[in-house]
Structure formats: structure tokens, C-alpha cells
Chains A and B, each alone.
Chain A
């Protein structure tokens, strides 16, 4: 890190940029620009002072990089203009030479690819014991390509085959990186073609470019258009995929070597950590699934209880109807007794209320089997006989039913109903049996 406490940044900046600015000044005053104008390296030197300076250090670095690129663009313009003061083809050619370079897309990703490749080369060279492994794919293929294809044998054959795979992976990666770079060159050239077209479109008075910034912005638009054409092409898609895959193969080979070395040294390896992580995640899923199953089981049990309660309540309701019918039956029996007595002494008329109940009793009887049909007198006789016997125990049963209802009142409604149902169930069943019996 530079001296961050130094307050005179502006002076240092001006000193760093001085040679480059002087070249511009000379040009502005009408002098021909030098054949190789001072380059803006001063920016970079000066920017190094800020490395790691404060929380905005990264932003500063990016801005300085951008400024450097913009300055390089201006430099190209300056060089082109001075090379061909009369304009025309020479100017365009000079500019093309300066601008139509893949370096314009020298974004950090390309740097990642290159750095990764160089690291891999050094790493593999060390493992493969070929310290002078060439840096370019063509040279490496010439020098070592044959070696990577040699058959392996002897006690070290497995190691040799692994090294050979690593070497081949690296060569393939370098090949794909070259292919990618060629496409970047194509993008830069297309960008320049767009730039020329855009400039041609601005030749009319009123549309001309009057500032360096406007010119720079126009160039950026053109460069992006050229890049997009290439980046969306099938060739780029294939090249990009192959480059990524090739780099991953190199990395995988390197990881394999580190893993092997770690095992020999008794250190935990990436595979082991992965394995533990994978098992842990699977276990967590199982635990969660069990938890979910338990929760579902609880919900099902609760639903079952609710269904049972509902069924019981429904049964109670239907039994209550039967009991009502039975009560009506009983009353009808009593009425019939009265009728029989009236036949002996027909002085009193039945009350309207009782008269109304009669149809209910009849309705209840409609459910009786057809075998119950017979002549009225014998039916009445049999019914009166059985009813007289049954009616003697009714008050006690009704009291039991009432008790059951009262006991249930303080409890939950569903349970209360169940209690009532319980209390009323016996007479109902008996009544039913009795009816059957009576009808038999």
C-alpha cells in the first residue's frame, strides 16, 4: 500500500500524467504528434499508491483501469489523427490498427482464464517434472504432445497415466483459450466496423461529434454491438462451453493431485469433506421427512377423532329420532288402550294433540314388515298385550336417559351427545327388538 496519509494526490497525479498530457498539448498547439506518444502508464503507477486505500479501494482500482482504457482510446485517436492529417483511408487504417484488438474485451473474466491457465501450467509442470513446459499450446504440443500419448508401464504406470491425462487436459485448455481469443478478435473487428458505420452516419452537419467523450461513447456502443454479435453466435456458444469444460478438467486434475498428496500426508481431503457433507444433508432430509411424517400422523389421528365424534353425533341424532318415534309409539299405544277402554265406555273424546300424534305412530308402524298385517282386532290385542308389559319399565328408562343428558351437559357437546346416545341406546334397541318380536 502506498502512503495513504500523503495529502498531495493531485500533484502526484499530474506528475504521473504529465508526459501523456504534454503530448496532447503539443498536438493541440498544432504540432504533429510524436510517432509513439507517451503512454499513460503514469496512471497505473500513481494508482498503485491507492492499493487497499480505504473501503473504496476496489472502486478506485476499477475507475483507474477504466480511465487508463479511455486514455488508451484517446491515445489511439491521437495517433490516428496525426498519422493521417488529411483523413481518408490512412486515418481509418491507423485507427483500426489501434482499436480493433481483442484487448478491448480484456475484461476480468479473460484475465481469470489466463491466470488459471498459467497456474495450471506451473502446477502441472511441477507434478509432471517438466519445469520447462512451454507456455504456448503449439510449442507444448510439439515438445510434449508425444510424451502425453506414450503407453505407460512399470510400477509407476498409474502415476504416469495420470500425469499424461493432466498434460493432455492442459493442452486442450490452451487450445480452447486460443479459440476463444480468436473470437474476441473477431468481436473487436466487428466493433470497429460498427464504429466506422456510426461515424459515417454522423457526417451530416448537426450530427457531427464535437467532443472526445462523445467519440468514446460512440466507440463503446459500437464495441458492444460487435461483441454481442459474436457472443450470441453458435460458434461462441460452442467455444465458450468447450473453454469452460476444458478449464474444469484441468482443475479437476489438479484437485486429484492435491487429494492424492493429502492422503499420503494423512490430511483430510476434499472428497472426504464432500462425502460427510452429502451424508449430513441426506440425514437432515430424513429427519425432516420423519418430522413431517410425525406431524402428518398427528393430523390424521386428530382427523380420525373428529370423524368418530361426528359419526357418534350423527348416530345419536338418528337414535333420537327413533326414540321420538318410539315415544310417539308409546303414546299411540296408550291411546289405543284408551280406545279399547272407550269401546267399553266411549264417553271421552281424544284431545286434538293426541289425535295429531296418531299419524306419527302410524308412520312409525309403516316401517314394520308386511307380515305384521292381519286383522285389526287381533293386532290390537297382541299389541296391547306386549305394550302393557313394556310400558311398566318406561319411567325408569326415561329417567336414565335424562340423567345421561344432564351428566353430559357440562362436557363437550360431542361427548354429551355421545352420553345421551349411550343413555338412549338401550331402550331404542329394546324397542326395536320388541317391535320385531311383536311382529314376528
Chain B
């Protein structure tokens, strides 16, 4: 085993000294860096309800697409990940291709939102947002783009309100919650969710974040910050890092009742696949989804394993189903250089073929 090491003491010492020097300088630099901004594309609020706001993004030119896209993001993180910065923006790239892009910002739930259920979110907020966008554009049907948990919500919505949708796009969306490598799902199987929500009320964002960090504890709590030392002399890279850091930890609390139902029905019951899912008065059958579906998943996704997403094609009722496997992770699918080249054009080209 010792033969694997060819570390010369003098070289090791120099390496340590270099690291320490960088670290000292870095900490001084970090101290002087102001808070980073995010969400680069101009937008207008077109609909408000409680803490929810539906925005329409303003592109540099008028949209050429006749049917707008409404992005439904997850509740567990802030949606500005899709418009993080100038050169890393799914929104900006879609606008540049002529799409008309809207987004639901869920806001930050507080105690007043403790009793919001999935019925309130899906048959209420999403439905009214869809209506608002359709009204705003003067169309009967719109395109829905659901991301992660928002993708699961979009599937439920499409299965029960299909007449309002022209096309459905899902990104890194869990469908089968019981695939073997799904660590989050594994952990919650023996949790008493009723006790959990009854005790906590709304689920604190910090608790959620710590759960995500536990998926890869050494890499996410240590190695990532060691890597930071290497980029500290590059202001742009440092700001990229800090922007991502802000997004990771700027999370909303989760409305208690919605969380309870999501864990019980999706994570524990796997009802999206097994059947028996009911959102308010509506039974959800993925087989009822008959509009064209584009499913984009990430091959190295540690939060939503690709196996959880790629099964969608086996369950939806449509004959027009397309799957795109992206070479990257759950976050990289929005912010990596590859994502900027591949994802917006995949969405635009697919929609254009169905306009």
C-alpha cells in the first residue's frame, strides 16, 4: 500500500505552504466580496396570490413561439436556479430561441401556509397560474415545464387538467420513488411522517438542507470547500461559487401538510407509479397524460437518480414521448457549460416540432 505513495516530504511541505498561503489570502478576499446577485433576466409579475408570483421573462426580442412555457419549480429550493447568472441561464437561452417563458415563484412559506395541501398547490396554485398565463397570452393551452418536485406536480396536473396543456416537459423529475439507488427515499421509508409534521409544523429549510448534504457528507461538507481554495484568485469563478452557495442554502421552509402528503404518497407509497394517488378530488393516472411529453434527466443525478426518471415513458398514455439523457448532475443540468449548449436547444427544437 505504501508503494502507492510517491510523496516527497519537501514537496508535500511546499504543497501545504501553498495551500495555507492561498487560504489566508482567500479568506481576506472572501471578507471583501459583497453579496452576489442572481436572477439576471428582467421579468414582470403577471399574477399574484398569497406568496406566489407568476413572472413573465422579458427577452431581448419578442417571442416567436405562440404557445408560452410555464416553469413549475420545486418547493424545496428557490427557482432562480433557472436564471442564475448571465452565462448560466436556462431562461435566457430559451428566450433567445424565441420562447415565451413564465415561471411560478412559490415564495417562502411561513406559519400561515402550514395547512396548504398538495390539492392547494396543484389544483389551486398551479391551475390558477396556468389560467393566468393562458389569459395573458390569449391562448387556450400552454406548455408546462416541471422541474424536480415541480415535475412530479406537473405530472399530476397534466394527468388531471390535460385539456389546458399543449405539451409537457419534465426535468430531473422523480417518477418511480423506489429505485434502489434513491438514498433520500431509502431514508424516509421508516420515518413516521405524521409525527414529524405534527411536531415540526412546517419543515425547516435548514433541516432539509442538512438532509441533502448527508447524501455525500464528506464531498459536500469538506472537499467542496477545499476545492474553493483553488479558484479564489479568479473573481468570476469565486462569484459563481458563491452564487451557487447562496442558492443551496437559501431554501424555503416546507408547508407541513404538503410535505406530509408528498412523503407519504410519493416517497413512501410510490403512488405515482403504483396507482392510488389522489390530489384533492382528482385521481391521478399517468396513463391519462396524452399530450406530447419530453422527459430530460441527468445521468449523474444524486438527488433524483436517472432510474427514478427514465421510467416515465412506461407510464404515460401519450404516443409522443421523448427522453433526453443529460451527461451531468442535478444542478449541472441548469448551470454547466454543457447544459447551456444542450438543454435549451433540446427543449426549443422539441417544441418547435410540435407547434
| Residues of chain A having any CB pair with chain B under 8 Å | 4, 9-10, 13-14, 17, 21, 24-25, 27-30, 47, 50, 53-56, 58-60, 62-67, 69-70, 74, 87-88, 91-92, 104-105, 107-109, 112, 196, 199-203, 207-213, 215-217, 220, 223-224, 227-228, 231-232, 236-238, 240-242, 244-245, 248-249, 251-252, 255, 270, 273-274, 277-278, 280-282, 285, 288
Contact = CB atoms under 8 A, between A and B. Distances in A.
A210 B6 contact: yes
Interface string B180-211: 11010011111110011011110000010011
Contact of A277 (B35, B112, B191): B112
Main secondary structure of the interface of A (DSSP, over half): helix
A191 B221 CA distance: 16
A419 B137 CA distance: 39
B226 interface: yes
B200 A248 contact: yes
B3 interface: yes
A54 B29 CA distance: 11
Contact of B217 (A107, A232, A236, A255): A107
B234 interface: no
B4 A211 contact: no
17 contacts: A21-B16, A50-B31, A54-B31, A55-B33, A58-B249, A60-B27, A63-B225, A66-B222, A70-B226, A92-B1, A224-B216, A228-B183, A232-B183, A245-B192, A248-B196, A252-B198, A274-B201
B2 A91 contact: yes
B196 A244 contact: yes
Contact of B225 (A28, A66, A215, A277): A66
A112 B207 contact: yes
B311 interface: no
Given A63-B229, A241-B190, 11 more contacts: A60-B30, A67-B23, A107-B210, A107-B213, A196-B1, A215-B7, A216-B223, A231-B183, A231-B187, A237-B190, A251-B199
Contacts of A251: 199-200
Contacts of A10: 21, 24-25, 28
Interface residues of B, number: 74
Interface string B13-56: 10111011101111110111111000000000000000000000
A210 B199 contact: no
B187 A104 contact: no
Contacts of A4: 31
Contact of A281 (B20, B23, B116, B226): B116
Contact of B223 (A29, A66, A280, A281): A66
A217 B222 CA distance: 11
Nearest to A221: B219
A270 B120 CA distance: 23
A203 B3 contact: yes
Main secondary structure of the interface of B (DSSP, over half): helix
A24 B186 CA distance: 43
Nearest to B9: A28
| Chain A to chain B: the 6 pairs with minimum beta-carbon distance, closest first | A241-B190, A87-B2, A66-B225, A28-B13, A281-B115, A13-B24
Contacts of A288: 124
Nearest to A223: B218
B4 A209 contact: yes
Given A105-B218, A228-B183, A274-B201, A220 B223 contact: yes
Contacts of A74: 16
B216 A273 contact: no
B239 to A, nearest CB: 11
Residue of A30, A202, A213 with highest tally of chain B CB at under 10 A = A213
B278 to A, nearest CB: 16
Contacts of A217: 223
A345 to B, nearest CB: 71
